[in-house]
A and B are shown apart, each in its own frame.
Chain A
Amino acid sequence: MDETKKVIVRVKRQLGSKEKPHWEEFALDWRPAMNAIICLRDIAERPVTRDGKPTTPVVYDSNCLEEVCGSCAMVINGKAAMACSALIDSLEQPLRLEPMTKFPVIRDLAVDRSVMFQNLKRVRAWIPIDGTYDLGEGPRMSPDMQAKAYPLTRCITCGNCLEVCPQVNEHNAFIGAAIISQVRLFNMHPTGAMHARERLEAVMGSGGVEDCGNAQNCVQICPKQIPLTESIAEVNRQAIKQAIFGWLMG
């Protein structure tokens, strides 16, 4: 009998945020083009560990499975990554799946990233339109400007930039690169720029843009290749200008 090739997966399990974590190991049948999500589904269909012990399916977040919804971020082989695009054949085994460490664990690999959505509120990451009535077209915009802004719009709020940032830790509530980059985006838009001050004020002070330690991990880990360090530098510039000249502008 030929033996089927196996994929060995180790998963860090945790029943809740206050429970002690433990590891479980699984041996799955290898197929071409497997990713971490397929491994987790295999486990759900047959929740038995490598040494034959019945267990529960692994809890994790996922949705689009094409790296555009931002759900399935986790730590894979020690690195923050999206599970859907983590292809098994290009990863070392045993594959190690862990929850992100900068967010509270809900259960197993699912974490609570709601702080990011709260922070989008804090920085007023929107264009304050007058209403949905028919008020004609939006402002004209050059193709160059669009090309500069577009990459920033692709942020999927996965949180990987926070996961790898040394400034995000128990002692510091740094708002993080993703949110700062959204400030840059909305300040860039002709209508958004009218309210740039409010956004800048929200990222000044403790936990704001100044807390960036320039480690540059964020820009390297971003699955969407967003120029995050450029965004931080630009928002920092705007914030300093606002701090110095703000009183002049009323």
Chain B
Amino acid sequence: MREPKISIIGGGLAGLMAAIRVAESGVPVDLFSIVPVKRSHSVCAQGGINAAKNTKGEGDSTWKHFDDSVFGGDFLANQTPVKNMCEAAPGIIDLLDRMGVMFNRTPEGLLDYRRFGGTLFHRTAFAGATTGQQLLYALDEQVRRFEAEGKVRKFEGWTFLSAVIDESRICRGICAMDLRSTEVRTFPADAAIFCTGGIGAIFGRSTNSVVCTGSAQGSLFLQGVDYANGEFIQVHPTAIPGEDKLRLMSESARGEGGRVWVPKRAGDTRAPLSIPPKERFYFLEEWYPKYGNLVPRDIATRAIHKIVFEMNLGIADEAAVYLDLTHIPRETLDHKLEGILDIYEKFLGVDPRIEPMKVFPGMHYTMGGTWVDNENQATNVPGIYAAGECEYQYHGANRLGANSLVSCIYGGMVAGPAAVKYARNLEKGCDSVPADIFDRERARQQEINDRLLHQDGTENPITIWKEMGQIMTEHVTVVRYNKNLEKADAQLQALLERYRKIDLSDRTQWSNQTLNFARELENMLILARVITLGALARDESRGAHYKPEFPERDDRNWLKTTRAKWTGGIQLSYEPVDISHIPPRARRYDVSK
């Protein structure tokens, strides 16, 4: 029998899990990653991972996890995959536990669970406040074991440029670039699994890592791989503003009892702790008595926007609110939240154990992503699969905290075996495809490099990137107006025009980061337009997508998935949402469900 070949692009949680599953089935894996996989963005996840283990006698169940997730996502997620994920979650926790993740423990030696946003149950397993790092390392270690056994070949320091797609529209491999030598090479594969993560860089500043550009998704989109629900962008309510990055302050801070407040009197300049409790406005607790500080992220973010921009109640002269942990015993903080408190202390020089933190919402996550089917994480191009944040399947219009880690791992678990099955059933493997299919793609990509390296222009890629980020952050995040979205799209098109005239200040053919960034930038601009046009079209408010001109959810017209296609231009179409398990109902967090 012919031995199939599988390429995985991206070595975060989803990519590593997919690699483990493929290697476990005896099929060799080529694993591509821009950074050494151990440095992937999954390390930034802090608070925890959800699974309804019901260890606290609260009557939690996988069905309730499913219901919370669907309700939290404002009924836009296809329900069957979400249900399957929630049912798999307890087993995923067991697996991670067996892999040696140092989860926090109860006195009996069992895993401890804490509360997170959008649920009333203690459902979130955690390893201090560096859960993503611990999970990524656990999977990284297992992949290293397969690597030592020769079952996984790593290509670290390579970036994906394009898929190799033959005349019958089947993916036969990928084209990638070695970031050191700038060599462009094709790699035949029977299936390629994309686990290329988030798109934060499209918004300039976000909580995402530098590599989260969405470039791979943008490149695939231009090759005919559809993109779904792009307009659903999660803005995390509590980030630390910074010029280079918005550093996340995990929801777990509130899960462990942190409270959000502002002074009741506008322009109050007193030191926070000298403001007596009755002169503080705990607005989340007041507006949402049932969930309080643990309302879902879209709700908390809009509340903070309202406080700061409509009611002018932000901390004096600053667009910020307090996130206060000072009432929690130091020992608890150090044991359960140390990682994030260290970040605050290190970057701001203030100890959040003794002084309330100043936080403000920041772009954090994309619910939308590459379109995949309901069963196999398969895209619309045969042989191309996607898992993790880069695809759209699990979070609907708003993701619940601590659901991302579980969706990454679950997506990888599904995509791996599905790709193996597909590859084994292929009539004709990638090795029997004529060489010129690969040569042509390689030449096309090499040509782009050559053009960029030789053209004389007037535009700096970083300047264009910064402008794109400003447009997207201003018009396509928390509050959206059609007039502004139209303007934003026109501005993005103008940036694409200016992009044609970029000039690389570095023309070296060795380790040229400017060249790579310029290539990513074009894909980012395309995806920025997909997001903006999706938002412009959707005349309702649902989850993270909020239009004051259309303040209500409109199930009659908009209970449907946005599906963007590239046909030489961006074309939007819509398809029905799977609501086969839970009938949509009004989403409210001020009262019990």
Whether B99 lies near A129 (C-beta < 8 A) is yes
Q: Is A126 an interface residue (CB 8 A)?
A: yes
B11-63 interface (Cβ within 8 A of A): 20-21, 24, 35-36, 38-41, 43-44
Q: Is A50 an interface residue (CB 8 A)?
A: no
Minimum CB–CB distance from A14 to chain B (whole Å) comes to: 11
Q: Is A69 an interface residue (CB 8 A)?
A: yes
Complex interface: stretch among B237-245, B398-406, B542-550: B237-245
Between A and B, 20 residue pairs with Cβ closer than 8 Å are A31-B243, A57-B505, A57-B506, A61-B35, A63-B210, A64-B43, A64-B44, A107-B510, A114-B156, A117-B38, A127-B98, A131-B24, A138-B98, A140-B108, A141-B109, A143-B104, A143-B105, A153-B133, A153-B134, A157-B36
Q: Is A241 an interface residue (CB 8 A)?
A: no
A59 touches which one: B21, B99, B466, B513 (CB < 8 A)? B513
A82-99 interface (Cβ within 8 A of B): 84-85, 87
Interface string of B130-147 (1 = CB under 8 A from A): 100110011001101101
Interface string of A107-141 (1 = CB under 8 A from B): 10010011001001100111111011011111011
Complex interface: stretch among A32-40, A203-211, A213-221, A232-240: A32-40
Q: Is A6 an interface residue (CB 8 A)?
A: no
Which residues on A sit within 8 Å (CB–CB) of B462?
Answer: 41, 44-45
Minimum CB–CB distance from B158 to chain A (whole Å) comes to: 13
Q: Is B346 an interface residue (CB 8 A)?
A: yes
Whether B244 lies near A65 (C-beta < 8 A) is yes
Which residues on B sit within 8 Å (CB–CB) of A31?
Answer: 243
The total of chain B residues at the interface (CB under 8 A) is 71
Q: Is B479 an interface residue (CB 8 A)?
A: no
Which residues on B sit within 8 Å (CB–CB) of A84?
Answer: 244-245
Whether A56 lies near B335 (C-beta < 8 A) is no
Whether A45 lies near B128 (C-beta < 8 A) is no
Q: Is B209 an interface residue (CB 8 A)?
A: yes
Which residues on B sit within 8 Å (CB–CB) of A117?
Answer: 36, 38, 144
Whether B144 lies near A66 (C-beta < 8 A) is no
Which residues on B sit within 8 Å (CB–CB) of A131?
Answer: 24
Q: Give CA–CA (A28, B40) in the complex, Å.
A: 30
Minimum CB–CB distance from B519 to chain A (whole Å) comes to: 15
Given the interface contacts A57-B514, A63-B39, A63-B211, does A85 sit within 8 Å of B463 by beta carbon?
Answer: no
Minimum CB–CB distance from A114 to chain B (whole Å) comes to: 7
B86-118 interface (Cβ within 8 A of A): 91, 94-95, 97-100, 102-110
Q: Is B180 an interface residue (CB 8 A)?
A: yes
Whether B95 lies near A132 (C-beta < 8 A) is yes
Whether B144 lies near A69 (C-beta < 8 A) is no
Q: Which 8 A-B residue pairs are closest in the complex by CB-CB distance?
A: A138-B97, A140-B109, A126-B141, A56-B506, A127-B100, A107-B511, A138-B98, A69-B39
Beyond the given A66-B44, A68-B43, A128-B145, could you list 10 further A-B residue pairs with CB under 8 A, ordered by the A residue number?
A56-B505, A56-B508, A65-B209, A69-B209, A117-B36, A117-B144, A132-B24, A137-B94, A153-B127, A156-B133
A56 touches which one: B99, B103, B137, B514 (CB < 8 A)? B514
Whether B20 lies near A33 (C-beta < 8 A) is no
User: Which of A46, A87, A127 neighbours the largest number of chain B CB atoms within 10 Å of its CB?
Assistant: A127
Q: Is B148 an interface residue (CB 8 A)?
A: yes
B346 touches which one: A85, A138, A192 (CB < 8 A)? A85
